[in-house]
Amino acid sequence: MRNIWIYESWRLARFVLPALLLGWVFNVEVLLLFLALLLFILHQYRQFNKVYKWLGSSLDADPEVTGAWEELVYRIYRKRKRSRSRKKNLSNMLRRFQDSVSMMPDAAIVLDKENNILWLNPAARQTLNLSNDDIGNNLANLIRMPTFVNFLKNAKDSEAYEMQSPVDEKESLDLRQMPYGVGQRLLLIRNITQVQRLKSMRQEFVANVSHELRTPLTVILGYLESLQDSDDLTADEIKLQLAKLQAPAYRMNQIVVDLLLLSRLDLDVPADLNDSPSQDMQVLLAMLKKDGEQLSQGRHTIILKNNVTVKLKAVETEIYSAISNLISNAIRYSPDGGDIIIETRLDKNGYQISVSDQGLGIPAIHQSRLTERFYRVDAGRSREVGGTGLGLAIVNQILRRHDARLIIMSTPGKGSTFSCLFPLSRVQSDAQD
Ligand code: ADP
């Protein structure tokens, strides 16, 4: 700073001293001093003008000034450059933040004090059916649902509110808002429909399991109480009573076995296509036919039409369990004397194993729900024939683990066909061997 004063004083001297010298020689000191000062002021004014213009420009070109002005320009240039790079960093950070919030699956909206929208991400546009044109508008005017407006006005910071979606009544949302920036709020909305659905499925499942186990348990308790109350029973009568406990106990056991199998299937990683050993389906199907005949005890004719010889990349026990469940259902839901046909087919859609019966058949409204856990068309009949309501759920889960699907075709009174369709990727046919 001191240098600037020395420099400027020296410059002033360069204007004044020659004028004084000349003025002294020609005896016009005052006039020449006045002219020298005027020239100095004009010079300063030119410098100032250059700096002024330079300040209004992009600052890249040098204003070509000297002395104190040069120093001033240099200091301004340095400050502006620093603030420019700080601004650039900040806007980069803001862009990165907005990019990551944009990618978020949850809706995010920035609101001002009056609930006017300042910013929103794509998920918010989708969740609340908003568009970029709504920026600047009041959210409470755009979504007029009373519970939503009440949430906007009265919700406590970060507290979660669950409510029906204002856009689709079948969807549930979890909303929370929190302070954000100066005088702003961030509104976060998550779609929890799936979580709610799973929650209610779990509750329903627990209620079903309890109900299924309670029925045979009540029977067992009833027999045990009557055994306890009657002191004068003979050994044969006691044996008879105890024998009656067998069926409900077997039923409970079967339910637990099926539930354990299902939970194992749910937890285990699916059967990997590459790791799965190839199963000779000819051998497996012959065994299944034999087991079916054993179960039917001659009440049905079981026919195996194995049209193609293939090896299936699959877990043997699981495939065996799935097909045997279908054969067992065909036997249990068919009147005596009917045919049960196990048939295979290989075409461009894949490898299909179907089990057909000439039994009761299933009304169309039930068909899509048969693979739900504990779903039965006729619960009484199912229990009568020893069903747990879990068989088709197990079949479905096994098939899913093998990238396969279950196809149900049924006509009430005529019969049903349950088919397992495996993708060609799981098939190793004779031709490929
Ligand atoms: P369940 O142990 O009760 O047999 P499943 O899950 O195996 O349970 O089958 C669900 C329901 O589907 C059965 O209760 C029955 O009403 C119906 N069902 C299954 N297979 C057949 C079939 N082959 N014919 C008629 N109804 C069937």
CA 108 to ligand 1 center in whole angstroms = 47
Pair of tokens at residue 325:
């469940």
Look at residue 51 and tell me if it is in a domain.
yes
Pair 170, 225 in one domain: no
pLDDT of residue 275: 77
Strand partners, 346: 351
Protein residue with its CA nearest to atom 8 in ligand 1 = 389
Cα–Cα distance, 328 to 288 (Å, whole number): 10
% the chain with pLDDT above 70: 98
Nearest CA to ligand 1 atom 18: 329
Give, using CA atoms, the residue closest to atom 10 of ligand 1.
Answer: 376
Among residues 373, 367, 90, the alpha carbon closest in space to that of 209 is found at: 373
Which pLDDT score is estimated for 77? 86
Domain end residue (candidates: 191, 225, 245):
191
Closest ligand 1 atom to residue 394 Cα is 6
Listed residues 146, 175, 191: the one ending a domain? 191
Q: Give the integer Cα–Cα distance in Å for 98 and 100.
A: 5
Better pLDDT: 382 or 433: 382
pTM for the complete prediction?
0.69
User: Of 69, 128, 119, whose CA–CA distance to 97 is shortest?
Assistant: 119
Query: Is 403 among the domain residues?
Result: yes
Looking at residue 263, its pLDDT comes to: 92
C-alpha 163/C-alpha 187 separation (Å) is: 14
Which of 138, 173, 191 represents a domain boundary (last residue)?
191
Contact 283, 319 (CB under 8 A): no
Whole-angstrom CA distances from 258 to 198, 200, 373 are 21, 21, 10
Which residue, by CA, sits nearest to atom 7 of ligand 1? 391
Tell me how far apart the alpha carbons of residues 288 and 40 are, in angstroms, rounded to a whole number.
114
Question: How confident is the model at residue 2, as a pLDDT?
Answer: 60
Q: Give the closest residue to 111 by CA, choosing from 87, 145, 146, 141.
A: 141
Contact 322 CB / ligand 1 (< 6 Å): no
Q: What is the DSSP letter of 63?
A: -
- Residues 305, 309, 315, CA angle at the centre, nearest 5°? 100
Is the model more confident about 407 or about 50? Answer: 407
* Ligand 1 atom with the shortest distance to the CA of 325: 7
**Nearest residue to 324 (alpha-carbon basis) of 348, 295, 303:** 295
In this predicted structure, the answer to whether residue 58 has a pLDDT above a threshold of 60 is yes
Tell me, yes or no, whether 181 lies in a domain. yes
CATH number at residue 246: 1.10.287.130
**d(Cα 268, Cα 185) in Å, to the nearest integer?**
44
388 Cβ below 6 A of ligand 1: yes
Atom of ligand 1 lying closest to residue 361 CA: 25
What is the model's pLDDT at position 359? 94
Please give the structure tokens belonging to residue 376: 């039965």
Give the three-class secondary structure for 194. helix
Is the per-residue pLDDT at 177 higher than 50? yes
pLDDT digits (tens, 9 = 90+) for 325-349: 999 999 999 999 999 999 999 999 9
- Provide the CATH number for the domain around residue 165: 3.30.450.20
| 362 CB near ligand 1 (under 6 Å) | yes
Q: Is 134 in the pocket of ligand 1 (CB under 6 A)?
A: no
pLDDT at 59: 61
Residues 412 and 292 in one domain: yes
Q: What is the mean pLDDT of residues 8-29?
A: 87
Q: Is the pLDDT of residue 432 over 60?
A: no
Residue 233: the pLDDT is 82
Which one has a higher pLDDT value, 294 or 269?
294
Are 332 and 405 within one domain? yes
Q: Is 378 in the pocket of ligand 1 (CB under 6 A)?
A: yes
Same domain, 315 and 183: no
Assess if residue 273 is contained within a domain: no
Q: Is residue 272 in a domain?
A: no
120 CB near ligand 1 (under 6 Å): no
| Same domain (yes/no): 90, 117 | no
C-beta 416 within 6 A of ligand 1: yes
Assess whether 259 and 324 both reside in one domain: no
Q: Are residues 79 and 183 in the same domain?
A: no
pLDDT cut 90: percent of the chain above it: 61
pLDDT, position 411: 96
| pLDDT tens profile 273-301 | 777 788 899 999 999 999 999 999 999 99
Whether the CB of 377 sits within 6 Å of ligand 1: yes
Q: Provide the CB-side half-sphere exposure for 398 (13 A, CA).
A: 23
Q: Return the residue matching tokens 């729900």.
A: 369
Domain check: are 23 and 124 in the same one? no
pLDDT in tens, 238-265: 888 889 899 899 999 999 999 999 999 9
pLDDT band for 430, please (50, 70, 90 cuts): low
Cβ–ligand 1 contact at 190 (below 6 Å): no
400 and 285 together in one domain = yes
Residue 349 lies in a domain: yes
Going by the DSSP 8-state scheme, the letter that residue 277 receives in this structure is P
Angle at alpha carbon of residue 163, lines to 158 and 166, rounded to 5°: 115
Q: Where are the beta strands (DSSP E) in 259-365?
A: 278-280, 301-305, 310-313, 339-347, 350-356
246 and 320 in a single domain? The answer is no
Query: Which of these, 385, 328, 330, lies nearest to 362 by C-alpha position?
Result: 330
- Ligand 1 neighbourhood includes 387 CB (under 6 angstroms): yes
CA 81 to ligand 1 centroid distance, Å: 78
Residues 117 and 260 in one domain: no
Domain region containing 208: 197-267
Q: Which of 253, 257, 333, 367 to mutate to test the pocket of ligand 1 (most atoms within 8 A of CB)?
A: 333
Q: Is the CB of 370 under 6 A from ligand 1?
A: yes
Mean of pLDDT over the chain: 90
Structural domains in the chain (count): 4
CA of 215 to the centre of ligand 1 (A): 19
The verdict on residue 157 lying in a domain is: yes
Residue whose CB lies within 8 A of the most ligand 1 atoms, among 295, 362, 408, 419, for a mutation test: 362
CATH of the domain at 305: 3.30.565.10
Supply the pLDDT for residue 429: 64
Q: Say if residues 334 and 360 touch (Cβ distance below 8 Å).
A: yes
Q: Are residues 111 and 202 in the same domain?
A: no
**pLDDT band for position 227 (50/70/90)?**
confident
Does residue 431 surpass a pLDDT of 50? no
Q: Is 86 within a domain?
A: yes
